[in-house]
Amino acid sequence: MNGAYLYWLVRYVPDVVRGEQVNVAVIVGQDGGDWAIRVAPDLRRASRLGGDAGALRPWLDQLAQAIHDYEHPALQLFAPTDEVRVSRAWLELLSHRFNNVLQVSAATPVIAHSATEGADFLFPLLVATPAPIARSRTRARLVHDLGQLYERTASLETGGSLLRAPRAHIGRQRGRFDFAVVDGSVDQLSHAFAFDVRDTDALERELQSWNFIVSRLRNDGGVITQGGRSLDAAGDVAVAVAFQEPTRREPRVADVFEAALEAWSGLGVSAVPSTELDVIARDALHLVGA
């Protein structure tokens, strides 16, 4: 049976001013219940942001050990006197204590069978670095993962508050989004783009077409339809993009990527990298019923 848990992301932030960050662990649990943690086995990716993320390993090991010991308590005779009691309050204390190079995110709901299952679900989405894969699979994976996060962290039901692959109608213009979050009207629209493609020109045309639809939506508002449903979308509706950054260091690819970021900023689109995919679902949770 599924239950309501909370999760926290442990982040490496080498430069607080720049604001760049990478998730190095995820913790899932509930007060009075079970707890689990998954830690990135390799911190080299985190070190690419600057500094030495490897220096975090002892602290991460201690954190993992504290949760393991809490889940597997020693016999009273051998129990340590300074035993940590894992709880939401304990993690919130850590978040204040380490609000610098290492940060603990605010608690976010997640639906899971157990803390372990929840950590196993979230780890590959938000912490682990996926192996390079073809663009068609990359975009499909982004859409799949975002849909899972909508359902399990924002408690949205497909066909209810969550519409998949809805169409946008703005005057005579037509476009498509990957998701619409609705509650009487449209609260949020989202779409995914992957930049590791063979045909950069085709991707650029796809981006320009989608950005044009968003610009018309911003100016005139529109109507979102899916499966016989029709809902109004205001011009200031929240729009988010999940993107997989390009790994090929080619000027043409970099130019298309930077142009996309510039356009999204001008259109008021929240651009979220794949490693922070849960941000879109968390925003949706706050928007529904607001």
pTM of the predicted protein model: 0.84
Q: 3-state class of 274 per DSSP?
A: helix
pLDDT tens digits for 92-139?
887 777 657 788 898 999 999 999 999 999 999 998 664 444 444 588
pLDDT at 35: 95
Residues 56 and 121 grouped into a single domain:
yes
Residue indicated by tokens 């990135």: 40
Residues 150 and 114 grouped into a single domain:
no
pLDDT tens digits for 4-45?
999 999 988 876 666 678 889 999 999 989 999 999 887 776
Residues 151 and 265 grouped into a single domain:
yes
Q: Give the C-alpha distances (Å, rounded to integers) separating 87 from 14, 35, 237, 261.
A: 27, 9, 37, 39
Residues 272 and 139 grouped into a single domain:
yes
Residues 182 and 103 grouped into a single domain:
no
Residue indicated by tokens 């259109």: 267
Distance CA 150, CA 162 (A): 8
pLDDT at 76: 52
Distance CA 244, CA 203 (A): 13
Across residues 248-277, what is the average pLDDT?
Answer: 94
pLDDT at 137: 53
Q: How many domains does the chain have?
A: 2
Residues 224 and 103 grouped into a single domain:
no
Distance CA 86, CA 63 (A): 10
CATH number, domain at 267? Answer: 3.40.1350
Last residue in a domain, options 109, 126, 143: 126
pLDDT at 135: 42
pLDDT tens digits for 56-65?
788 888 889 9
Other residues' Cβ atoms within 10 Å of the Cβ of residue 94: 18
Determine how β-strand 102-104 pairs with β-strand 167-170: unpaired
- Which token pair is 78? 């051998």
Does the pLDDT value for residue 220 go beyond 80? yes
pLDDT tens digits for 182-212?
998 999 999 999 998 889 999 999 999 999 9
**Mean pLDDT, the chain, whole residue set:** 87
Give the structural domain span for 227. Answer: 135-287
pLDDT at 94: 77
Residues 38 and 177 grouped into a single domain:
no
Instruction: Write 195-201 long-range contacts (CB < 8 A, 24+).
Output: 195/243, 195/244, 195/245, 195/246, 195/253, 195/256, 195/257, 195/260, 196/132, 196/135, 196/138, 196/244, 196/246, 196/247, 196/248, 197/135, 198/135, 200/252, 200/253, 200/256
Distance CA 107, CA 8 (A): 5
- Which token pair is 82? 């300074």
- Which token pair is 5? 């848990």
197 burial (CB, 10 Å; 0-12 / 13-18 / 19+) is: buried
